[in-house]
Structure 1
Amino acid sequence: MRCSRAEAAGPVHAGAIEAGDFKSFAGIILAGSGQTPAKHHVALIDALQRVACGTVDRLMVQMPPGAAKSTFASVMFPAFWLAAKPRAEVIAVSHTASLAEHFGRKLRGLIAEQGTGFGLTFEANSRAATRFGVANGGQYFATGIRGPITGRRADLILIDDPIKTWAEADSRVARDAVYDWYRAELLSRLKPGGRIVLAMTRWHEDDLAGRLSRHDGDWTELRFPALAEAGDPLGRPVGEALWPEWETTTSLLRKRASVGERVFSALYQQRPIGAEGRVFEITGLTVAIDVPPVVRTVRAWDLAATVAVGRRDPDWTVGLKLGLLADARLVVLDVVRFRAGPADVDRIVLETAREDGSATTISLPQDPGQAGISQIVHFKQRLAGFNVVSSPETGSKMVRASPAAAMIGSGQLFVLDRAWTPALIDEIQAFPDGDKDDQVDALSRAVATIAALPTGSRMVRHTLMGR
């Protein structure tokens, strides 16, 4: 992918690289040092190319330590930006001034060694690692989080690892300070049409990446766990190492056993979990491509009826389909998840029932009072011909989730590897401290419903056809 002429900022080097072509730039830089990019590097280069072209103006990169995200995002990319865009201004931020200086020195070294081939040379007497200019009028300024940036402006803001320690990550005061500084000071330095790249290793559900994901939905996210999970963006099989030439699966598993699940899940899997209070032991959850025939199925619903508008973050309506195998194991076969008003909820529930077929039991929650009774009567009328069961929700969410958690912990419940799987696993792992629990509620209801259904003559055996 190359930028169109309208998106391009002028030639990187006459007759060498077409305007805005970071891919070619990175290829030349890597070839000069005898390096070959791994799959995740190629994906990162592609994402940064879109930033260069302007098709992405907010990029969030989440990778484990040692994945070389900084080499591309904080060294190569600002070098390209300064070469490609005359009079460009770059602000680079890291958790401390010393780390910012470290990246600045690497950038200076790259420019000194290979910059002349792209028409990139330093201004006279521009020698500082954290502040220098280039001959085409570009300026680079690096600082630590909450460092002085008054008077600076930027076409490109680079934020690389804004968290230094677990103590900072676990401190609400420290997290608030970083987020407030980003909003009130750093963001105000961005020129109209400017772009931001956040490259970090995750530490906490509420770290800068977590907050921006929740409160600013305009980010393009690139997340690569050290060990592949279901729906891996690189197409890796589950459990495969991100960069085996650097660190093998065996080495990562040994590290996982050493550092503990919380540290490994955050720093290596880019999936932070809380320090305590987790209900589900996610290591017991298996992801499978195919399943044997099931003997019965249930579609359990957690109902909401609010449309997402603007930056509102309403609950989801979720319909989770659970299958029972002959050996008493359970498998999540499908998840329907959407936000819509009452009429669309009604329509989608009916459409889903038709797709599942009459052999699938439909389980609905009954809200308290007459309104809840009326809603169930309405759905049963709409779903005439299907086996519909309903019951009020009793007990706390954690109590209701306990049977499903026990099944997962014992390896008796697994999920199919589908497009919906990562979001389901994310929510299961974050429960009960995550922002949403609609899928967990649906899973809890499905497990309880299958356990309560009668056996014997009513058991229907059919082969899973999928959706």
Structure 2
Amino acid sequence: MDLGLAAFAEDVLASAEQSPAQHHRYLMERLEAVGTGEMDRLMVLMPPGSAKSTYVSILFPAWYLARHPRAALMTCCHTDSLASHFGRRTRALVQEQTEILGYGIAGDERAAHRWRTSRGGEYFATGLRGPIAGRRADLVIIDDPVKSWAEADSPLAREHAWNWYRSDLLPRLKPRGRIILVMTRWHQDDLGGRIQEMEAGWTVVKLPALAVPPDPLGREPGAALWPDWEDAAALLRKKTAMGERAFAALFQQDPRPPAGGLFLTERVGLTDIGQFQSLAAVRAWDLAAAVPAPGRDPDWTIGLRLERDQQDGFIVQDIRRLRGTPGEVEAAILSAAQQDGAAVLIALPQDPGQAGLAQIAYLTSKLAGYIVKSSPETGSKLTRASPVAAQVEAGNVRLIQAPWNRPFLEELRDFPHGAKDDQVDALSRAFMTLVAPAKPARRLQVSLLAR
């Protein structure tokens, strides 16, 4: 095939009435350098929605296998399903563009994650935990090695990704083999950050959503990366909703540690009943069944009522806080339910094992006539608190003025290093209950080169 990558991409995209943007052309110049062997380590750091995977993990592999007919190419992602998704789309592209590429799919190859070309090339896709022993690669593409905030914040998960890269992947690379890492940054110590710290010889393409000088594309400060897709005003609205830390990592490729604590309590506002219209409300409980005794400082039982208003803000309307016997805790739950009314959902934590199931069954029977939702705690406390902390940072959380404000804000300010975190746990449960979808969203079929 005589076409360069940019010309090939333009031909393919033209059928979908699309064309490469400025940042796509900049990226393709670096990808071509990998294809020709001018560089062997390329790191692509771009925000979500920038179409980086379309160019790196779909268009480029098809073009690369035309230029290197007998090459073995491996794509690795955070899960097998995402890797197979890229394999399926690349195979479909090869089948559609066989005449231009000069090769097709061999014989009866049907698997999305493993196929051969008619000219002897090989394609294999797998997750970070998938088996790659016994395989060799001329080119490895690592696309989206981080699955979520929970994974990014986990030292164990970050160490696993590094060990996989160093001990599993690198030995599979053939002499003079090439690696492309394409990702959105999540954490200072994610795979992209660790590689930049530990290895030399990488070319890094870092394109933030909003330009920061010096900008590789020559944009003015604050200019959007892809204004035809998402302009600067839309990105700034997103920044307000997400909070500074999350936006800096995911959209600016500049992950930062929390400043002081997780919750920026100075951004929590105060309000009064009657100053907002509630769209939904939940009373979430964090349960403890111990009473104070000499030499003991037991946890508190917390019942926190959180409401969502018409502007998608969140208001902590009331907090019940007590240390009592199991009977006193039960009485507090029933009393709060009667005061709140049947329209306020009740969210209860479920302890593991049969004892936890029995407790939930008992409390649910006592709360007949109310909507009760129970679920086990999953993930670390820090991970569970991070989504609502982002809302606090964005200024989207207010409190009804009440005597419980001070101890609540102090606990948020000190988290995760404070002596107690019961109110934080209740707030996290309340928030996740309010924002949880009513039912699983249907997955939409996306066209091959959809943005």
TM normalised by structure 2 equals 0.57
Secondary structure at 1:179's aligned position in 2?
helix
Secondary structure at 2:205's aligned position in 1?
strand
CA distance in 2, matches of 1:165, 1:271: 16
After superposition, give the CA deviation of every residue in 1:180-235 in whole Å (9 maximum; x if it has no partner): 11010111111001110000000000000001001102100000000011111101
1:53 aligns with 2:30: no
Q: Give the alignment partner of residue 275 of structure 1, picking from 258, 261, 266.
A: 258
CA shift at 1:79, angstroms?
Answer: 0.4
1:156 aligns with 2:127: no
Answer whether contact 2:151 2:158 (CA < 8 A) is retained. yes
CA shift at 1:25, angstroms?
Answer: 2.4
The residue type paired with residue 246 of structure 1 is: W
Q: Give the alignment partner of residue 212 of structure 1, picking from 187, 190, 195.
A: 195
Answer whether contact 1:58 1:220 (CA < 8 A) is retained. yes
CA distance in 1, matches of 2:215, 2:129: 35
After superposition, give the CA deviation of every residue in 1:262-296 in whole Å (9 maximum; x if it has no partner): 11000000000012339xx9xxxxxxxxxxxxxxx
CA distance in 2, matches of 1:239, 1:38: 18
After superposition, give the CA deviation of every residue in 1:92-119 in whole Å (9 maximum; x if it has no partner): 0001011101111111121121123221
1:233 aligns with 2:216: yes
CA distance in 2, matches of 1:204, 1:74: 23
CA shift at 1:248, angstroms?
Answer: 1.0
CA shift at 1:153, angstroms?
Answer: 0.6
Answer whether contact 2:94 2:101 (CA < 8 A) is retained. no
Answer whether contact 1:170 1:204 (CA < 8 A) is retained. yes
1:262 aligns with 2:250: no
CA distance in 2, matches of 1:156, 1:32: 28
* Residue aligning to 1:133: 116
CA shift at 1:256, angstroms?
Answer: 0.2
CA distance in 1, matches of 2:183, 2:218: 22
Secondary structure at 1:149's aligned position in 2?
coil
* Residue aligning to 1:170: 153
Answer whether contact 1:131 1:142 (CA < 8 A) is retained. yes
1:76 aligns with 2:59: yes
CA distance in 2, matches of 1:264, 1:167: 16
CA distance in 1, matches of 2:88, 2:259: 40
Structure 1 gap ranges (5+)? 1-11, 282-467
The residue type paired with residue 104 of structure 1 is: G
1:180 aligns with 2:163: yes
CA shift at 1:132, angstroms?
Answer: 0.4
CA shift at 1:87, angstroms?
Answer: 1.2
Answer whether contact 2:9 2:20 (CA < 8 A) is retained. no
Secondary structure at 1:247's aligned position in 2?
coil
Answer whether contact 2:65 2:71 (CA < 8 A) is retained. yes
CA distance in 1, matches of 2:243, 2:85: 30
Secondary structure at 1:158's aligned position in 2?
strand
* Residue aligning to 1:105: 88
CA distance in 2, matches of 1:247, 1:31: 21
1:196 aligns with 2:179: yes
After superposition, give the CA deviation of every residue in 1:347-392 in whole Å (9 maximum; x if it has no partner): xxxxxxxxxxxxxxxxxxxxxxxxxxxxxxxxxxxxxxxxxxxxxx
The residue type paired with residue 220 of structure 1 is: T
CA shift at 1:32, angstroms?
Answer: 3.5
Q: Give the alignment partner of residue 122 of structure 1, picking from 97, 105, 126.
A: 105
1:93 aligns with 2:72: no
Report matched runs for 1:61-460 at 5 Å. Answer: 61-277=44-260
CA distance in 2, matches of 1:190, 1:210: 21
CA distance in 1, matches of 2:258, 2:114: 39
CA shift at 1:146, angstroms?
Answer: 2.3
Identity of aligned residues (%): 53
Q: Would you say how many aligned residue pairs link Structure 1 and Structure 2?
A: 263
Cα gap change, 1:84/1:32 in structure 2, threshold over 3 Å: closer, same or farther?
Answer: farther
CA shift at 1:23, angstroms?
Answer: 2.9
The residue type paired with residue 156 of structure 2 is: V
* Residue aligning to 1:373: none
CA shift at 1:150, angstroms?
Answer: 0.7
CA distance in 2, matches of 1:174, 1:246: 33
CA distance in 2, matches of 1:238, 1:43: 18
After superposition, give the CA deviation of every residue in 1:31-74 in whole Å (9 maximum; x if it has no partner): 34332111100000001011011111000000000100000000
The residue type paired with residue 212 of structure 2 is: E
Answer whether contact 1:22 1:52 (CA < 8 A) is retained. no
After superposition, give the CA deviation of every residue in 1:72-95 in whole Å (9 maximum; x if it has no partner): 000011101111112110010001
CA shift at 1:143, angstroms?
Answer: 0.3
Structure 2 gap ranges (5+)? 265-451
Secondary structure at 1:193's aligned position in 2?
strand
CA shift at 1:137, angstroms?
Answer: 0.3
Answer whether contact 1:154 1:189 (CA < 8 A) is retained. yes
CA distance in 1, matches of 2:116, 2:259: 48
CA distance in 1, matches of 2:33, 2:65: 16
The residue type paired with residue 196 of structure 2 is: S
* Residue aligning to 2:10: 27
Secondary structure at 2:97's aligned position in 1?
helix
TM normalised by structure 1 equals 0.55
* Residue aligning to 1:393: none
